[in-house]
Amino acid sequence: MKSKMIFPVISMIFLFVFASMISVVAQEHHYVGVKKCGMCHKKAKDGEQLKIWEGSKHSKAYETLKTAEADKIAMEKYGKKAVETDECLKCHVTGHGADAALFEKSFKIENGVQCESCHGPGKDYKSKKVMKDQAKAIEKGLILYSDEAAIEKLCRTCHNEKSPSFKEFNFKEMWAKIKHNIPEKK
Ligand code: HEC
Ligand code: HEC
Ligand code: HEC
Ligand code: HEC
């Protein structure tokens, strides 16, 4: 009797493991890099998100790691150059730690903290058809934030005391510096 029960039980377990594996794979969206997003998000009438980002320090976050100041911090703490140190890269670039296969050719690490650091890897949601349909875009990996508390929580994943240069994080002031709304249509 007992051995007859084992087969269905085992196949159930297999089914579960398999199903969860498939859903994990489906969530692995690819990174395309800021240039791709910028193609559609640059006009002043649409809020020129590209320009605002280019003018922010997020666009220079990788460059910062190439400075003598950064190397000094990294050498003292980890005995490596800053650009070779995981503990620096995780906040200064986009998607650090993700599988190399998830980065499209258009993705450039040199662009630092890019759109996809905050909005999620965009290969599957970046088509015009999907982008115009918010629900669809979210389904394809776009990350949006419901309110200021959620936005602040995002910021504090990098703006915190684990940053060697951290002093404080004034959310309202900092958000005002990089905010990039789509202007209200009249
Ligand atoms: C082919 C053009 C195109 C590309 C490429 C594109 N977008 Fe969009 N995006 C749009 C359009 C169109 C909208 C809708 C704008 C509107 O509702 O007024 C939009 C909306 C958005 C929104 C707001 C969604 C909402 O409902 O509030 C975000 C965030 C966004 N895009 C981020 C990105 C990011 C990040 C990338 C790169 C990975 C990207 N987009 C690439 C065209 C594009
Ligand atoms: C937890 C996220 C985080 C980690 C880890 C991190 N940084 Fe940063 N880094 C930031 C943020 C955010 C800033 C902006 C200033 C601030 O609030 O600290 C910054 C700013 C800097 C600056 C500019 C300092 C200034 O005064 O403008 C340098 C240089 C720097 N980081 C180097 C490094 C090096 C080197 C490492 C690795 C040893 C590292 N960071 C690890 C998040 C991080
Ligand atoms: C540091 C994080 C961060 C980066 C980098 C970033 N965004 Fe955003 N973005 C946000 C947050 C937070 C919001 C506001 C809440 C929301 O709509 O989800 C937002 C809103 C938007 C919106 C919708 C604005 C509206 O009025 O509905 C668009 C479009 C957008 N971002 C595009 C981009 C593009 C394109 C880039 C890169 C050039 C980019 N973002 C870079 C965090 C970021
Ligand atoms: C993926 C990590 C990451 C996230 C998420 C992030 N930041 Fe940053 N931010 C950085 C790093 C790294 C720097 C420092 C770049 C440099 O100086 O090279 C920085 C710098 C800044 C600066 C410039 C600081 C100055 O002194 O002028 C502002 C403003 C800022 N971030 C605002 C925000 C806001 C607001 C959010 C949330 C919506 C946010 N950041 C989310 C990593 C991040």
Which of 115, 116, 143, 177 best tests ligand 3's pocket when mutated (most atoms within 8 Å of CB)?
A: 115
Fold classification of 30-178 (topology level): Flavocytochrome C3; Chain A, domain 2 (1.10.1130)
Whether 24 shows a pLDDT value over 80: the answer reads: no
Average pLDDT over the chain, rounded to whole? 91
Which pLDDT tens digit goes with each residue over 144-178?
A: 999 999 999 999 999 999 999 999 999 999 999 99
pLDDT digits (tens, 9 = 90+) for 38-90: 999 999 999 999 999 999 999 999 999 999 999 999 999 999 999 999 999 99
Query: Which residues on adjacent β-strands are paired with residue 31?
Result: 103
pLDDT of residue 185: 76
3-state secondary structure of 31: strand
Q: How confident is the model at residue 23 (pLDDT cuts 50, 70, 90)?
A: very low
Q: Residues with beta carbon inside 6 Å of ligand 4?
A: 57-58, 60-61, 64, 91-92, 113, 117-118, 151, 154-155, 157-159, 174-175, 177-178
163 Cβ inside 6 Å of ligand 2: yes
- Residue with the smallest CA separation from ligand 2 atom 42 is 163
What is residue 85's three-state secondary structure? coil
Measured over the CA atoms of residue 23, residue 112, residue 119 and residue 172, the dihedral's sign is positive
Q: pLDDT exceeding 90 applies to what percent of the chain?
A: 84
Please determine, for residue 137, whether its predicted confidence score (pLDDT) is greater than 50. yes
Q: For ligand 2, is residue 170 a contact (CB within 6 Å)? A: no
pLDDT band at 5 (very low <50, low <70, confident <90, very high): low
Q: Which residue from 31, 126, 130, 178 has its CB within 8 A of the most atoms of ligand 1, so it is best to mutate?
A: 126
Q: Tell me what the mean pLDDT of segment 109-123 comes to.
A: 98
Model pTM above 0.75:
yes
CB 33 within 8 A of CB 114: yes
